[in-house]
Amino acid sequence: MTNSNQALSTAEKVNQSLQKRYRAEKRFKAYGIGAIAFGLLCLVVLFTDIISKGHSAFFQTYVKLEITFDPVEMGLDDPSDTKQLAMADFDSIIRNALKEQFPEASGRRDRRALYAIVSNGASFTLREQLKDDPALLNQTVSVWMLADDDIDTYVKNREDADGETFAGRISEKQMGWVNTLIENNQIESRFNTTFFSSGDSREPEQAGILGALMGSLLTLFVTILLSFPIGVAAAVYLEEYAPQNKFTDFIEVNINNLAAVPSIIFGLLGLAIFIGFFEMQRSLPLVGGLVLTLMTLPTIIISSRAAIKAVPPSVRDAALGLGASKMQMVLHHVIPLAMPGMLTGAIIGFAQALGETAPLLMIGMVAFVVDIPGAITDPSTALPVQIFLWSDSPERAFVERTSAAIMVLLAVLISMNTLAIWLRRRLERRW
Amino acid sequence: MQAVNTPIQKNEKLNANTNGTDQKKTSTDEMNNSAAKVGKTVGKPFATNPKMTMRNVDVFYGDKQAIHDVSLDIGKNEVVAMIGPSGCGKSTFLRCLNRMNDTIEICQVKGEIKLEEMDVYHPKQDVVPLRARVGIVFQKPNPFPKSIYDNVAYGPRIHGLVERKTDLDEIVEKSLRRASLWEEVKDRLHAPGTGLSGGQQQRLCIARTIAVSPEVILMDEPCSALDPIATAKIEELITELSEKFTIAIVTHSMQQAARVSHRTAYFHMGKLVEVNDTKRVFTNPEHELTEAYITGRFG
Amino acid sequence: MDKKSMERHISHKFDEDLEQIKNMVLKMGGVVEQQIVDAVKAVETADSDLAEKVIRVEDDVDLKEVELDEACTSVLACRQPAASDLRMVLAITKMTRDLERMGDEAQKVAKMAIAMQDSGSKGYEEARHIGALVQKMVNTVLDAFARFDVDQALEVARTDKEVDREYKSAMREIVTYMMEDPRSITRSMNILWTLRAIERIGDHARNIAEHVIFLVKGTDVRHTSLQEIERRIGKA
């Protein structure tokens, strides 16, 4: 009887505590959801901010003008002569076209304001056009040309949500001319190909990220090529061959410490060794890659060691038991099985390297580089450095370009992580 | 309730098991320490036609001695079972036979282990040819995460046993047939070996081992992760394999030792207590500790 | 590992099972022993009531034999005993058979007692001496089993020799009677049968003694001479 009584009371107690446990469980779950929600919220705010600021950079304002390719004005008689073409004054025919359209601008100041509507890069467009089609000489054609960044900003933002007019840095006269152009359908917003196809520029409307992107990719190429094989080899040696003693312990502690060393220290190291001692040039993707290799190695070694450790010992035993040598065991079994883990770690390291700015500043990859680098020995800059540079510029058009560049960087990072997941899925095997 | 074994029976048993060993001197007081009762190995540790001979083998893990002065022969085409309580050193001893203990840095082996003329622990002896002659099957089925075919072909490939693909096919088929697995897998040789059932995986591991044509096969509790049916198949296989190979098997199942082996060796706390014909060990063991272990009297 | 753990199985139930079987054997042995005592007494005192009792008890013995067989089968099937445990179960199955036969022989003796009483003869003193010897054998062998005592078992084997000798001399005596007085042939034959049954009981007792030796020593000593047995178990 006492037994059944006890059993009953135990069940009751359990039932009572069960409610409490359920509540505790729910709370626990809620904390987790809260944490994730907070993270997501931050991410959404960040993305909204970046996208709302940056999306407009993907469009660029163009102005249509009736251009007369007057050989006298340009000082050119043979369009096929590259020397003449290079020397030709295309700005004057643009000025003429503007003067023709807006004859009311008469004073020096007004004229200058008028001429500022079109980007000073527009003359390059005309030059290219004439070069492609020499028959245009002496003819008058409608040409779409880049608008100046201030005009671009005004066109994009002239009416905000409250219906108030936003002038930006342009004068009222300019505003009037632009409005006339808009009324005449002589102003158009087009997809900004310049942004993706050119290097840096002082003029925001002519600035692009291709140079920085190429610089980043070249740097990353050097980093991948060096750090992955070196990191994997080091990890394999430490895990499979190194004897367990004070020295390997010392190495291990040091590797773990290096992973936490601020990246700028690696920049200083690179500056001292590669540029100071080996006398390499500054601003090279090669040097950047070497520095980032130093920075990424600890991450790759640590993650590769973890992946190698995770290979079940039974597989090693099986290989050794069959009479495989240690190298055969490592090459045939351990590395293939550890590869997904090693790749994941490596790609995280590369993504980190791709977003790294500080060490690159130290080795001079912060330079203003207009040309798009084609090799690892061409001076270049990198995406994050470009973002850093642009974010420092006062022009409003650079603000949106900064955000756009961040979006590009994020896109590259996301695609790298996707690649990591895909590779892991692809290579992962169950055992 | 009174215990089955009265003190008189105890004395009788003591006397019965003493035959020529120092057990006669064992006083009741000393019996409290069972380690003290392990003296010289009793029974028949030596074979007339030995394939492997072990003499005065000591194994140390650092400062700790795991195996004390073990001498044992494994006869040609003989199945020797090694039994004993957990931690008695039987697996350690088995792994000495093809130097699988080499991977453990602090493990040190003294004494002499010979595979016919080959001195297993000679400093100049490479483990690769040794392991090609002495294969091992582990407790947990551990096929490589590769196809069934590649699993079996791995050994012959790394040892360069074949030159042509057709020869390799032949070896794979023969090994799988010998491991009684061919009929079950012949249609899916290129399916992953890890997709097989536990028992099939273990037979695949056996096929992988015999593909190298070793002379001795070591089995370290090969059935402990398997169900009774799969166990029965492996045991049947062991009996068949003993026609061609010499087999040493460590097992926790005394019935298994009784079923498959010719001789049984009983280890206790790193010492080899008794080696005798299996029939003898399971009906009338010489040593009191063996008796206590196989009748289930160890707490 | 202390002494206690060496004596007991890890499985307590296994100990209980073996204990129970052993007790059943001793109980059955007790019943058979009483049967033999009663049967011999019935012959000596020509007590037909006692003889009837012996015959009645036989059913009980048969039942006990079946029960024991079942118990042994279940231990074999469920516990897979090895070494001394295995020998114990094997010895017990054989001993049960011998005990049952002993009961049968006691029954025969009791039947003779009834037959001889019907024929109006008085009790027979001839059976007393050999009967006493055999009773002692049965008692000793059960004791030997209860204590796993090889010395006592050997004692039984030795007594069996004596019983054989007694039986032979009694037989010669009775043959002499029959030759002297052919009228006593019926009576003599009855006595002969009785003596023969008692002697068979002695043989079975010796068998049990051999089983006890097998159980304790692990050596099979069936079909061997006493000297050989003593040599084999190292007692000579």
Whether C215 contacts chain B with CB within 8 A:
no
Residue among B128, B140, B208 whose CB faces A325 most closely: B128
The verdict on C17 touching B (C-beta cutoff 8 Å) is: no
Kindly determine whether residue A321 and residue B159, on different chains, have CB atoms separated by under 8 Å.
Answer: no
Q: Which residues have C-beta within 8 Å of that of residue A297, sequence separation ≥ 6?
A: A227, A230, A231, A234, A258
CB C157 within 8 A of CB C206: yes
Which residues in chain A are contacts of B135 at CB distance < 8 A?
A: 321-322
Mean pLDDT value of segment A220-228: 93
Cβ distance of A320 and B105 shorter than 8 Å: no
Q: Which residues of B touch A317 (CB under 8 A)?
A: 100, 103, 136, 138, 142
- The answer for residues whose C-beta is within 8 angstroms of residue C83's C-beta and 6 or more apart is B281, B282, B283, B284, B285, B290, B291, B294, B295, C218
Contacts of C87 in chain B (CB under 8 A): 283-284
Question: Where does the pLDDT of residue B294 fall: very low under 50, low under 70, confident under 90, or very high at 90 and above?
Answer: confident
pLDDT above 60 for B28:
no
Q: What is the pLDDT of residue A76?
A: 79
Yes or no, beta carbons of B10 and C7 under 8 Å apart:
yes
Digit-coded pLDDT (tens) for A59-70: 888 988 888 888
Q: C86 and chain B: CB distance < 8 Å anywhere? A: yes
CA A212 from chain centre, in angstroms, equals: 8
| Residues of chain B contacting A326 with CB distance shorter than 8 Å | none
> How far off is chain C from B275, nearest CA to CA, in Å?
15
* A337, closest residue in chain B (CA to CA): B145
Strand partners, A143: A65
- Taking an 8 Å cut-off on Cβ atoms, the answer to whether A317 and B212 are in contact is no
**Which positions in chain A touch B208 (Cβ < 8 Å)?**
318, 322
Residue of A nearest to B128 (CA): A323
Residues of B in contact with C24 (CB under 8 A): none
Per-residue model confidence as pLDDT tens digits over A151-166: 888 888 776 656 566 7
Partner chains of B (3+ C-beta pairs under 8 Å)? A, C
Task: Find the mean pLDDT for residues C115-129.
Answer: 68
Q: What is the pLDDT of residue B7?
A: 38
User: Is residue B220 a contact partner of residue B250, using CB atoms and an 8 Å limit?
Assistant: yes
pLDDT band at B208 (very low <50, low <70, confident <90, very high): very high
Interface of C with B in 170-209 (CB under 8 A): none
Nearest beta carbon to residue B12 from set C81, C83, C150: C150
- Residue B121: is its pLDDT beyond 50? yes
Most C-contacting residue of B1, B4, B23, B32 (CB-CB within 10 A), to test interface: B4
- DSSP letter string, A241-292: IS-SSHHHHHHHHHHHHHTTS-HHHHHHHHIIIIIIIS-PPTT-HHHHHHHH
pLDDT attached to residue C125: 67
Query: pLDDT-based confidence at A218, cuts 50/70/90?
Result: very high
Residues 231-250 of A with CB under 8 A from B: 243-244
Q: Which chain B residue lies closest to A430 (C-alpha atoms)?
A: B145
Scanning chain C, the segments in alpha helix (DSSP H) are 3-7, 12-45, 48-79, 83-118, 126-147, 150-180, 185-217, 226-232
Cβ-contact A101, A67 below 8 angstroms: no
Rounded distance, CA B63 to CA B108, Å?
10
Give me the pLDDT at residue A245, please.
Answer: 86
| A293 pLDDT higher than 90 | yes
- CB distance B144–A243 less than 8 Å? no
Q: How far is CA A142 from CA A69, A80, A114, in A?
A: 11, 22, 18
Contact A295, A356 (CB under 8 A): yes
Measured between alpha carbons, how far apart are the two ends of chain A, in Å?
Answer: 53
Q: Is the pLDDT of residue B29 over 60?
A: no
Please compute Rg for chain C using Cα positions: 20
The pLDDT score that the predictor gives to residue A23 is 93
- In whole angstroms, what is the distance from residue A217 CA to residue A344 CA? 19
Amino acid at B126: D
Domains of chain A: 56-191 (no CATH), 210-427 (1.10.3720.10)
Q: Tell me what pLDDT residue B5 has.
A: 41
pLDDT value of residue A397: 84
pLDDT at B136 over 90: yes
pLDDT at A393 over 90: no
Tokens (6 digits) for B38: 């392990």
Q: Is C143 on the interface with B (CB under 8 A)?
A: no
Q: Which of B97, B136, B142, B209 is the best substitution to test chain A (most A C-beta atoms within 10 A)?
A: B142
From residue B64, how far is each of A244, B56, C136 by CA, in Å?
19, 17, 59
From chain A, the residues in CB contact with B205 under 8 A are 318
Per-residue confidence band for B19, with pLDDT thresholds at 50, 70 and 90: very low
Rg (CA), chain A: 31
Tens-digit pLDDT profile for residues A296-346: 999 999 999 999 999 988 899 999 999 888 899 999 999 988 988 898 889
Instruction: Determine which of A322, A429, A430 to mutate to test the interface with B (most B C-beta atoms within 10 Å).
Output: A322
| A333 touching B (Cβ < 8 Å) | yes
Chain B positions touching chain A (beta carbons under 8 Å): 98, 100, 103, 105, 127-132, 135-136, 138, 140, 142-145, 154-155, 158-159, 192, 194, 205, 208-209, 212
Determine A/C contact with 3+ CB pairs under 8 A as the test: no
Of all residues in chain C, the one with the smallest CA distance to B292 is: C6
- Per DSSP, the residues of A60-125 read EEEEEEEEE--HHHHT-S-TT-HHHHHH--HHHHHHHHHHHH-TT--SHHHHHHHHTTB-TTHHHH
**A27 at interface of B, judged by CB pairs closer than 8 A:** no
3-state secondary structure of A140: strand
Q: C141: closest CA among C18, C20, C30? A: C30
Q: Which of C22, C83, C149 sits opposite B283 (nearest CB)?
A: C83
Mean pLDDT score of chain C: 86
Output the pTM of the full model. 0.75
- Count residue pairs from B and C with Cβ separation < 8 A: 89
Q: What is the ipTM metric for this complex?
A: 0.80
Contact between B13 and C16 using a beta-carbon 8 Å cutoff: no
Confidence of residue C127 (pLDDT cuts 50, 70, 90): confident
Considering only CB atoms, C16 lies closest to which of B1, B13, B284, namely B1
From B16, B285, B297, residue closest to C216, measured CB to CB: B16
Is-contact A151 A174, C-beta < 8 A? yes
And the tokens for B177? 């047939």
Between B6 and C161, where is the model more confident? Answer: C161
Residues of B with CB under 8 A from a CB of C: 1-6, 8-10, 12-13, 16, 19, 28, 31-32, 34, 254-255, 258, 281-285, 288, 290-292, 294-299
Whole-number percent of chain A with pLDDT over 70: 95
List CB contacts (< 8 A) between B277 and chain C: none
Per-residue pLDDT averaged across B185-201, rounded? Answer: 90
- Asked if A217 and A380 count as a contact pair (C-beta separation under 8 A), the reply is no
Q: Do A320 and B103 touch (CB under 8 A)?
A: yes
Beta carbons of A318 and B100 less than 8 Å apart: no
Q: What is the mean pLDDT of residues C184-196?
A: 85
Residue B15 has pLDDT above 60, yes or no: no
Alpha-carbon distance A329 to nearest alpha carbon in chain B (angstroms) = 10
- Please indicate whether chains B and A are in contact, defined as at least 3 beta carbon pairs under 8 Å: yes
Say if the Cβ atoms of B255 and C80 lie within 8 Å.
yes
Q: Go through the domains of chain B in sequence order and give each one's CATH number.
A: 1-36 (no CATH), 41-146+215-294 (3.40.50.300)
Q: C-alpha angle A289/A294/A295, rounded to 5°? A: 95
Residue of B nearest to C220 (CA): B284
Residue-wise pLDDT for B49-91, tens only, equals 899 999 999 999 988 999 999 999 999 999 999 999 888 888 9
Write a three-state SS string for C139-186.
Answer: HHHHHHHHHCCHHHHHHHHHHHHHHHHHHHHHHHHHHHHHHHCHHHHH
pLDDT by residue (tens digit) across A170-212? 888 888 888 888 888 888 888 888 888 888 888 888 888 899 9
Using an 8 Å Cβ cutoff, are A350 and A296 in contact?
yes
Q: Tell me if B275 sits within 8 A of B75, measured CB to CB.
A: no
Instruction: Please state, rounded to an integer, the average pLDDT across all residues of chain A.
Output: 86
d(CA A236, CA A255): 14
The confidence score (pLDDT) of residue A97 equals: 87
Mapping DSSP onto H, E and C, the string for chain B reads CCCCCCHHHHHHHHHHCCCCCHHHHCCCCHHHCHHHHCCCCEECCCCCCEEEEEEEEEEEECCEEEEEEEEEEEECCCEEEEECCCCCCHHHHHHHCCCHHHHCCCEEEEEEEEECCEECCCCCCCHHHHHHHEEEECCCCCCCCCEHHHHHHHHHHHHCCCCCHHHHHHHHHHHHHHCCCHHHHHHHCCCEHHHCCHHHHHHHHHHHHHCCCCCEEEEECCCCCCCHHHHHHHHHHHHHHCCCCEEEEECCCHHHHHHHCCEEEEEECCEEEEEEEHHHHHHCCCCHHHHHHHCCCCC
Q: Is-contact A381 A211, C-beta < 8 A? A: yes
**Which residues of chain B does C11 touch, with a Cβ-Cβ cutoff of 8 Å?**
296
Q: Which of these, A185, A232, A240, lies nearest to A346 by C-alpha position?
A: A232
CA A59/CA A191 separation, integer angstroms: 5
Chains near A (3 or more Cβ pairs under 8 Å) = B
Name all chains with 3 or more CB-CB pairs below 8 Å to chain C.
B
